[in-house]
Structure 1
Amino acid sequence: MHLSYCTNVHPAEDLDGVIAQLREFAGPARRQAGFDTLGVGLWLPAQLAHELATDESARDRLRAVLDEQGLEVRTLNAFPYAAFHAEVVKLDVYLPDWTDPRRLEYTIDAARALAAMLPARADGSISTLPLGWRTGWGPEQDAAATEAFAVLVAALRQIHDTTGHTIRIAIEPEPGCILDNVADIVDWLSARTDVIDPEFVGVCLDTCHLAVSFADPVAAVAAIHDAGLTVVKIQASAALEVLTPADPASREAIAAFAEPRYVHQVRENQGDRILRVDDLDEALATLPADGPWRVHFHVPLQMVPDAPLSATTDVLLSAVDAVVSSRPEHDVHVDVETYTWSVLPEPPADLAAGIASELLWAQRELMGTRTE
């Protein structure tokens, strides 16, 4: 298992900014955690991905800083195209979608850049959005997305033939999107294996998203495996859970997490059905609150929310165990993705220390060292 932390927590949009964040946060987090080497799951905005794919001197600058700080790269986050730390992001994070040629160009650039930065003989992974947001999607859009992935697979084969590195794309199901959950992505990819080679395209299992969908993590991983697909990447994350959302104290506690930058989808489990809304404000205003809620808000993995809230850490642990058990002979990329530090009700005073604490938790609980 290869552990990293995803740098989409930082707002850098260019190479100078990425270099600064590696020196200010990633390197100090590695040292505070006591790791000899730390993996970073770089978020590369589209313009920077293109620069790194085409400019060897830019790659050399980045490699030098990675080496200087004791860091390595095996995975990228290519879900947000740009401006992930704008004042308001919300549904813009799903643009451009997979019908837009810019999404394909961005992903190929990211793959070429990653292949040039990987350690010798290592394979890489890149997470991407689940086609797009669900509205305005029909057969024409689906056909365009399928064709884009076919072109992408051809590019990935060429990268492998040229560099010897296999780069795999990990499609990340997310509530509210075309591929809302694991069942959706299994169905979509299984129907297209003739044009979308499973050797190069599989699943990014974001365990916050998995929890929000109220899926059983062991069954979800089994469904992926039984379909002949691969969990290419795990995004280690935890959602917020509200067991008694009608309770005034619970409503007050969860309302503190409603904020204007990111979308926080909410699902209510009524036993025989799951109610769905697209943001926390909407949930507080419209859901009946007859059953427990899960909220798409990535909380730090080591964080134990104050009662009456809780976190879906058990889903994360079960999912990781299931993935490792299902593919013991393969590398597993585990990328800690807590991009919400800055929008927590009480952001940390020392972000590097918070990341170090989270990585130590992940090493202990996820990497085979935990004690029962």
Structure 2
Amino acid sequence: MRFRHADGSLVHLAYCTNVHPAEDLEGVIAQLDGCSSLVRKELDVRVLGVGLWLAHSLADRLAKSTVALNRLRRALDRNGLEVVTLNGFPYAGFHDRVVGKKVYTPDWTEPERLRYTLDLIDVLAKLMPRDAAYGSISTLPLAWRTPWSKERDAAARQAFDRIQVRLAQVETNTGRRIRVAVEPEPGCILEMVPQATHWLTPYAGPARIGLCLDTCHLAVQFEDPADSFATMAAAGVEVVKSQVSAALHVPDPGDAEARRLLEEFAEPKFLHQTREWGGPGVDNLDEVDQLSGRAAWRVHFHVPVHAQPRPPLTSTTGVLEDCLQHLVGGEHPLTQHLESETYTWSVLPDGPTNQQELAEGIAAELAWLRDRITGLGLEEVK
């Protein structure tokens, strides 16, 4: 979906297709013809934005084959779909039975991560609409936190320097501006906004490399939105893209009913980093007994933004709304790319059981976000 800011800027809202499992071209096209098309119809919009997730093997194929790329473009066109952003965080296997820490590999010290991102740049330059101000690709925050060293950090810096050169070349050769967005995440080398801002400072200014602000991750770390935006502004680091999502919140971990309900979210597929207000954190829900339980917990479990969990559990939609105010509610938008990224539908307690129910859930999230965006004064472009 598209929205016009009061300053004339075009703001895009999409949903991320990493919720869908396919990793080959035929499967991705089937998803577009199926669930994505249903979401657009549920919302009754002329054009729906999709933030494509392309596994590395498919990104390589699309970058090399005009025939394959045209097949994907035709599928997007016939379903009224557009792409301004790609999710370049998961490399492959995002719907394996157990994903866990595999999602952080290969990291930014490994050549496979660089090659994958270069392929995504080439693909997006050919897919994005001509009237989009830029295209964006979100990526992991360097690596999981261990092991790390000055040498590994230097290797990551060299890779990003090569990315910056390629982005400039693509813009010169095609007229398409592509930007790469580093996404802080709990447990990673860059897990909080100040860390990511410090690392990204060399790319500050009207940048091709900046930050992907995931509002779920920010909330899990108990980061204050106002402080976070002030930190980025002071350093000149730009928000290239924001994943507008919500985390699971446990107001009172000592509540027996809260702990019982929390067990329903302790599934083995994804990593669910958990943080305690004012205290330490653990890497997954099965480790929460290590926490004191004397203060609120927040869990890296992307929950639907439009529907609160069963009480006494809640979600961090308040943090999301606060971030939206900063992102697009001011005199000028701080980013033009917003993406709903609830990839956990398949592991939610009482989650959807078929494609129609999934499409209805995704559409309900986007409708909720649309109401908040228009409530900030933006006008939906029909």
Provide the TM-score with structure 1 as the length reference. 0.95
CA contact (8 A) 2:85 2:135 kept: yes
Is the counterpart of residue 145 in structure 1 residue 156 in structure 2?
A: yes
User: Contact 1:115–1:163 at 8 Å: present in 2 too?
Assistant: yes
For residue 88 of structure 1, report the CA deviation from its aligned partner. Answer: 0.3
> Are 1:259 and 2:264 matched, yes or no?
no
Other-structure match for 2:241: 233
Shift of 1:355: 1.0
> Is 1:173 aligned with 2:178?
no
1:67 maps onto 2:77 in alignment: yes
> Does residue 337 of the first structure (1) align with residue 335 of the second (2)?
no
SS at 2:339's partner residue? strand
- The runs of 4+ residues in structure 1 deviating greater than 6 Å are none
More off after superposition, 329-338 vs 347-356: 329-338
d(CA) in 2 for partners of 1:256 and 1:329? 38
Residues 121 and 164, structure 1, Cα contact 8 Å, conserved in 2: no
Question: Which segment drifts farther, 326-335 or 44-53?
Answer: 326-335
* Distance across 2 between alignment mates of 1:355 and 1:97: 30
Amino acid at match of 1:145: A
Shift of 1:121: 3.8
Query: Quick one: distance in 2 between partners of 1:340 and 1:265?
Result: 14
After TM superposition, the structure 1 = structure 2 runs for residues 1-372 of structure 1, keeping only pairs within 5 Å, are: 1-122=11-132, 123-190=134-201, 192-193=202-203, 199-270=207-278, 274-283=279-288, 285-325=289-329, 328=332, 332-349=336-353, 350-368=357-375
Please give the per-residue CA displacement for 1:133-191, whole angstroms capped at 9, x wherever unaligned: 0011010100000000000100111111111011110100000000011011011112x
Work out the number of aligned pairs and report it.
Answer: 364
CA contact (8 A) 1:317 1:366 kept: no
Alpha-carbon RMSD: 1.6
Equivalent-residue separation in structure 2 for 1:105 and 1:367 (angstroms)? 39
User: Residue 248 of structure 1: CA displacement?
Assistant: 1.0
Query: Following the alignment from structure 2 to structure 1, what is the Cα–Cα distance between the partners of residues 325 and 234?
Result: 17
Amino acid at match of 2:271: V
Q: What is the letter of the counterpart of residue 336 of structure 1? A: S
Matched-pair contact (CA < 8 Å) for 1:153–1:197: no
Q: 1:13 Cα shift?
A: 0.4
Structure 1 unaligned spans of 5+: none
Cα distance in 2 for residues equivalent to 1:66 and 1:367: 26
Aligned residues of 1:250 and 1:308 also touching (Cα < 8 A): yes
CA contact 2:304–2:365 (8 Å) conserved in 1: yes
- The CA deviation at 1:327 is 6.9
Q: Do 1:121 and 1:165's aligned partners in 2 also have CA atoms closer than 8 Å? A: no
What CA distance in whole angstroms lies between the structure 1 residues aligned with 2:375 and 2:121?
29
**Is contact 1:2–1:331 with CA below 8 Å preserved after alignment?**
no
Q: What secondary structure does 1:43 align onto? A: coil
Q: Give the TM-score of the pair, scaled to structure 2.
A: 0.92
Contact 1:364 1:370 in 2 (8 A): no
- SS state of the match for residue 11, structure 1? coil
- Whether the aligned pair in 1 keeps the contact of 2:14 and 2:50 (CA below 8 Å) is yes
1:216 Cα offset (Å): 0.7
